[in-house]
């Protein structure tokens, strides 16, 4: 018995070892923070000392959860202009969106982060960390913190498969089936879809590696003090990262072959909740016996900015329905208010979608909201605006638990047709429930999965052994291009030599006589 107690004590001691962890998630977007916040909080709850560089303050964090606040500025302020109407971005190509938003805003916001008062003071402190976790979203300069503190680097992304990261680490690209995360394709497997995906994947990678990373390198030199020398490039730091947590799951997303240190944690923000519906919303949903149509375009896209003709199309269609309409509408009033319409400037989406009376979710197709609908088995009508939204919704339509309605096609007839189809055709609700079951059918929930692998990296001091050796090869070595060229040269030379020998033999007198004799005999 005493022996068993000693073994148990040793096990608990090992299990409860705490680490110092730096978690850099400075981006201001609420949707990003909704997905990322559970990781830092759970690590703190499990006894680790967590320091978080963030723009979103927690109301009641654990005592071992330290927040380093980024200066309070929205992304549009940082970019030096007014917030645009996001609906106007619907016609931007993927290349234009990178040029005007991702590249520009990513550099500006990274500089805001590193130049923030609290962050600068923190970087001048004497700290040690056992692990540095960074959000992977156009803020690569922060990866240098792993080198500053001589700690393993883990990345976490609010998106799924990342083509740039695949290039860097040698993970198979699978361009024929895996779509670049910010590219919209109506028919991804067609010749044009595969060609466009191949082109854009290469386009984004080249601009990122040979131009954008240079901008981020300049910010490292300008703002991060005390870097051990020599300092590796940001490309090399990412290439040697220990772990990549991605917001996807094969039950919904396109199945992709991943290295052992690329781990799917899709739906991580759905694992735990301390929230419940406000009493007024609970009563409204409970009393809506005909069901509820919930419409929300996310934290960045504002319904109140819809053009008048499209807003009126929604109102005309909603006025014909018996269901309750619950709409996130950011203005105080909505002209043409209907008897069955309830609007609020902010709604607790996760808790609303969990209510059994929700019949359909009209969404812009953001991944966080899409996962919440999948988790709760709610059919979706998706109106994509930018970035990954069309890809998310295309999968919804292909699987069969929703429909895509292009923003440009919104009118009374189109909206009524799509909405009535999803409401009356039971196959959508049935497929949504089936999708929910398989999304939740896992050996371990996504939050436990993320924490396990983060602690695994700490326990194994960076886990060098799970990294792909291909990351240290050149592109032509990894793709066997040099081998194929060598084989082609050998085959070509062999054919040329054989052809030359045949010609020489054909010109020999003895060979010519024997051929003539053979012809005479015939």
Task: Classify residue 247: in a domain, yes or no.
Answer: yes
Confidence class of residue 513 from pLDDT cuts 50, 70 and 90? low
Confidence check: pLDDT of 13 > 80: no
CA angle 504, 509, 513 (to 5 degrees): 120
Q: Are residues 415 and 454 in the same domain?
A: no
pLDDT for res 510: 65
User: Are the CB atoms for 241 and 142 separated by under 8 Å?
Assistant: no
DSSP category for residue 159: S
Q: Are residues 162 and 230 in the same domain?
A: yes
- Candidates 220, 37, 228; CA nearest to 133 is 37
What is the model's pTM? 0.90
Task: Classify residue 1: in a domain, yes or no.
Answer: no
- Candidates 388, 440, 390; CA nearest to 267 is 440
| Helix extents (H) in 319-365 | 349-353
Kindly report, residue by residue over 465-501, the tens digit of the pLDDT.
999 998 888 888 888 999 999 999 999 999 999 999 9
Q: Are residues 217 and 86 in the same domain?
A: yes
Task: Classify residue 73: in a domain, yes or no.
Answer: yes
User: Are the CB atoms for 193 and 187 separated by under 8 Å?
Assistant: yes
Confidence check: pLDDT of 5 > 90: no
User: Are the CB atoms for 433 and 460 separated by under 8 Å?
Assistant: no
Confidence check: pLDDT of 12 > 50: no
Domain total of the chain: 3
Instruction: Measure Cα distances from 450 to 43, 265, 267, 395 in Å.
Output: 10, 6, 11, 25
Confidence check: pLDDT of 371 > 60: yes
Confidence check: pLDDT of 429 > 80: yes
Q: Are residues 286 and 189 in the same domain?
A: no
Confidence class of residue 344 from pLDDT cuts 50, 70 and 90? very high
Q: Are residues 502 and 460 in the same domain?
A: no
User: Are the CB atoms for 192 and 206 separated by under 8 Å?
Assistant: no
pLDDT for res 16: 47
Kindly report, residue by residue over 210-261, the tens digit of the pLDDT.
999 999 999 999 999 999 999 999 999 999 999 999 999 999 999 999 999 9
Which of helix, strand or coil describes residue 132?
A: strand
pLDDT for res 520: 58
Which of helix, strand or coil describes residue 477?
A: helix
Percent of the chain topping pLDDT 70? 94
| 27: Cα separation from own chain's centroid | 14
pLDDT for res 479: 86
pLDDT for res 238: 97
Q: Give dist(CA 96, CA 43) in Å, integer.
A: 38
Task: Tell me which of 204-208, 334-338, 392-396 is least confident.
Answer: 334-338
Q: Which domain holds residue 404?
A: 279-440
Which of helix, strand or coil describes residue 240?
A: coil
DSSP category for residue 180: P
Q: Are residues 187 and 217 in the same domain?
A: yes
DSSP state string for 8-58? HHHHHHHHT---EEEEEE----HHHHHHHHHHHHHHHHTT-EEEEEESS--
Beta carbons within 8 Å of 220's beta carbon, 6+ residues apart: 141, 144, 227, 231, 234
CATH of residue 302's domain is 3.40.50.2000
Q: Are residues 245 and 290 in the same domain?
A: no
Which of helix, strand or coil describes residue 333?
A: coil
Q: Are residues 436 and 349 in the same domain?
A: yes
Task: Classify residue 65: in a domain, yes or no.
Answer: yes
Please compute the mean of the pLDDT values over residues 264-275 and round it to a whole number. 88
Task: Classify residue 218: in a domain, yes or no.
Answer: yes
pLDDT for res 522: 58
Confidence check: pLDDT of 23 > 80: yes
Q: Give dist(CA 519, CA 443) in Å, integer.
A: 78
Task: Classify residue 261: in a domain, yes or no.
Answer: yes
Q: Are residues 33 and 172 in the same domain?
A: yes
**pLDDT averaged over the chain?**
91
| Helix extents (H) in 46-140 | 75-78, 94-97, 103-114, 117-123
Task: Classify residue 236: in a domain, yes or no.
Answer: yes
Task: Tell me which of 12-26, 384-398, 407-421 is least confident.
Answer: 12-26
Q: Are residues 434 and 453 in the same domain?
A: no
Beta carbons within 8 Å of 252's beta carbon, 6+ residues apart: 266, 371, 374, 395, 399, 435, 439
Q: Are residues 66 and 164 in the same domain?
A: yes
- Candidates 412, 403, 304, 421; CA nearest to 362 is 403
* CA atoms 356, 360, 366, 370: torsion sign: positive
Percent of the chain topping pLDDT 90? 81
Q: Give dist(CA 403, CA 421) in Å, integer.
A: 9
As a whole number of Å, the end-to-end CA separation of the chain is: 100
Confidence class of residue 521 from pLDDT cuts 50, 70 and 90? low
pLDDT for res 517: 59
Omega cis (within 30) before 230: yes
User: Are the CB atoms for 68 and 145 separated by under 8 Å?
Assistant: no
Q: Write down the residue that tokens 């309409």 correspond to.
A: 325
Please compute the mean of the pLDDT values over residues 152-178 and round it to a whole number. 94
Kindly report, residue by residue over 276-312, the tens digit of the pLDDT.
899 999 999 999 999 999 999 988 889 999 999 999 9
pLDDT for res 8: 42
pLDDT for res 117: 96
Q: Are residues 379 and 334 in the same domain?
A: yes
Task: Classify residue 9: in a domain, yes or no.
Answer: no
Please compute the mean of the pLDDT values over residues 93-117 and round it to a whole number. 93
Q: Give dist(CA 120, CA 289) in Å, integer.
A: 55
DSSP category for residue 367: H
């Amino acid at each position: 018995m005493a022996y068993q107690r000693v073994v148990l004590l040793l096990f608990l001691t090992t299990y409860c070892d705490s680490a110092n962890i730096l978690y850099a998630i400075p981006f201001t977007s609420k949707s990003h923070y909704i997905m990322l916040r559970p990781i830092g909080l759970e690590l703190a709850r499990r006894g680790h000392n967590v320091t978080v560089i963030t723009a979103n303050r927690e109301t009641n964090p654990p005592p071992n959860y330290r927040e380093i606040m980024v200066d309070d500025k929205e992304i549009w302020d940082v970019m030096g202009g007014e917030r645009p109407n996001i609906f106007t971005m619907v016609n931007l190509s993927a290349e234009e969106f990178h040029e005007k938003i991702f590249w520009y805003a990513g550099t500006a916001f990274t500089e805001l982060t590193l130049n923030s008062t609290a962050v600068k003071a923190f970087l001048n402190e004497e700290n040690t960390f056992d692990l540095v976790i960074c959000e992977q979203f156009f803020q690569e300069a922060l990866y240098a913190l792993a080198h500053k503190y001589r700690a393993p680097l883990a990345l976490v992304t609010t998106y799924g498969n990342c083509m740039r990261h695949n290039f860097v680490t040698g993970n198979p690209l699978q361009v024929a089936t895996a779509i670049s995360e910010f590219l919209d394709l109506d028919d991804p497997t067609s010749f044009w879809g595969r060609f466009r995906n191949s082109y854009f994947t290469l386009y984004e990678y080249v601009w990122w590696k040979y131009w954008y990373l240079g901008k981020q390198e300049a910010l490292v030199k300008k703002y991060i003090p005390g870097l051990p020398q020599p300092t590796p490039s940001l490309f090399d730091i990412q290439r040697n990262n220990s772990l990549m947590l991605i917001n996807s799951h094969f039950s919904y997303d396109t199945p992709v072959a991943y290295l052992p240190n690329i781990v799917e944690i899709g739906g991580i923000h759905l694992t735990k909740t301390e929230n419940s519906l406000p009493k007024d919303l609970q009563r409204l949903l409970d009393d809506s016996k005909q069901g509820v149509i919930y419409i929300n375009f996310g934290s960045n896209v504002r319904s109140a900015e819809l053009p008048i003709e499209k807003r009126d199309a929604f109102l005309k269609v909603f006025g014909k329905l018996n269901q309750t309409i619950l709409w996130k509408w950011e203005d105080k009033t909505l002209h043409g208010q209907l008897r069955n319409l309830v609007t609020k400037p902010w709604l607790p989406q996760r808790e609303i979608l969990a209510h059994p009376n929700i019949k359909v979710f009209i969404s812009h197709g953001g991944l966080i909201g899409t996962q919440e609908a999948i988790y709760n088995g709610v059919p979706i009508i998706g109106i994509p605006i930018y970035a990954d939204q069309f890809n998310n919704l295309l999968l919804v339509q292909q699987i069969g638990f929703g429909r895509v309605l292009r923003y440009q096609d919104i009118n009374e007839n189109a909206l009524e047709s799509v909405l009535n189809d999803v409401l009356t055709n039971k196959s959508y609700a049935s497929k949504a429930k089936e999708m929910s079951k398989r999304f939740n059918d896992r050996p371990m929930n996504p939050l436990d999965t993320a924490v396990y692998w983060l602690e695994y990296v700490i326990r194994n001091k960076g886990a060098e052994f799970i990294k792909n050796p291909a990351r240290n090869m050149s592109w032509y070595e990894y793709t066997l291009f040099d081998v194929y060229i060598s084989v082609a040269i050998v085959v070509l030379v062999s054919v040329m030599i054989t052809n030359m020998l045949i010609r020489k033999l054909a010109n020999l007198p003895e060979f010519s006589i024997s051929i003539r004799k053979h012809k005479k005999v015939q």
